Structure 1
Amino acid sequence: MVYVYVLYSEKYNRKYTGMTMDVEKRLREHNTGQNRSTKAYIPWKVVFKEEFKIRLEARAREKYLKSGVGRDFIKSLLF
């Protein structure tokens, strides 16, 4: 299975959208500073995740969530 996930940093009011096969492992990596683009905004928490059988479908959903309409959808989850 492939997951698309959205992380949120309350402290910095930042969002991060990504794709992985293991969300919990990936969250640990983000929160221990192993990802250059997210280490400045620790701590992160998972606010959304979806499961897909095919990586191609997950990638399409990730791209959607990074689009304007997708970002509005994520905002609606947070506020």
Structure 2
Amino acid sequence: MAKRTTLYRYLTGPDDAAFCHRVTEALSQGWSLYGQPTLTFDAAQGRVICGQAITKDVDVPYTPALKLSEQ
């Protein structure tokens, strides 16, 4: 039996529908929100940047070669 591993990702992007769809897609794939979303203002681009941490428990051993977005 493989050891249970908690994966962590931090999604970032402009505050737009595409960012919301990325978070929604991750949730539909079994990821869970972790903590509160973050916002910052990118003065150079003149836009708000969002961030959201997500986690997922999987039955695979952790290795740095693990492609988190494919889990």
TM-score range, shorter chain: 0.3 to 0.5
Larger CA Rg, structure 1 vs 2 = 2
* Higher strand fraction (1 or 2): 2
| TM-score, reference length from structure 2 | 0.35
Structure with higher RCO (Cα < 8 A, 6+ apart): 2
| TM-score, reference length from structure 1 | 0.33
